[in-house]
Amino acid sequence: MKLVEAYVTEISDIRERNAFQSCYPMRLARAPPVIPDLERRLPEGTQAVNFFEYSLLQAFGFIVDVEAEDLYPDQVDVVYSYRRSPYKYSQFVHRSGVAFVQVLGGCRGFVFLTNRLMGPGRMGSAIKNKDHLPAIAAENLRVRMAEFCSDGPRLQAFYDARIASLPPIPPIMEEPPPLVI
């Protein structure tokens, strides 16, 4: 992971700020499954909301950039000194820095944005091989993700594998009766 220049507002409304850029929508061919008591099967601190979408992004090399405001508990007040408004959708950045994705959820899937802030003019002369230009790497990533997301059987196999890797639901521990002496 390296430090990359990123947008300070969420990518889903980039068209409002830049007429020459827009996000690529990636709908899911199959909606993520609904697992009863999923939050009880996940390790503590793991987000159950959009679990399968997050898992898919992690499989493609993305990490969380900013969580959506509605995923924080009401008693947590999230303030960013450099961001003016809260994010409606959770945003991820690719480990290479070449792309961002926001999770819309369900069949709506994701929106994908190439990180144009990481262009060749900004990278200096460090990039010598034109096959490794950030825009080309981002496009290859976008195509692979779009193909995967639109392939219902592959998506279902991914969901099934994630479900199979979940631990069983732990038993509900009842309070022992009070001790009587």
For the chain, state the CA radius of gyration: 20
Q: Which residue has the higher pLDDT, 42 or 57?
A: 57
Closest by CA position to 97, among listed 141, 129, 52, 51: 141
Mean pLDDT of 43-49: 83
Does 176 reside within a domain? no
**What confidence tier does 144 reach under pLDDT thresholds 50, 70, 90?**
very high
Instruction: Collect all residues with Cβ–Cβ distance below 8 Å to 31 and sequence separation of at least 6.
Output: 106, 107
Confidence of residue 148 (pLDDT cuts 50, 70, 90): very high
Percent with pLDDT over 70 in the chain:
79
Counting the structural domains of the chain, the total is: 1
Residue 177, both tokens? 């009766």
Task: Report pTM.
Answer: 0.79
| Distance in angstroms (rounded) separating the CA atoms of residues 96 and 138 | 9
Confidence at 23, pLDDT banded by 50, 70, 90: confident
Q: For residues 83 and 94, is the Cβ–Cβ distance under 8 A? A: no
Q: Would 2 be classed as within a structural domain?
A: no
Supply the range of the domain harboring residue 68.
11-165
Whether 19 is in a domain gets the answer yes
Residue 61 has pLDDT above 90, yes or no: yes
- Residue 5: inside a domain, yes or no? no
Q: Identify the pLDDT of residue 125.
A: 43
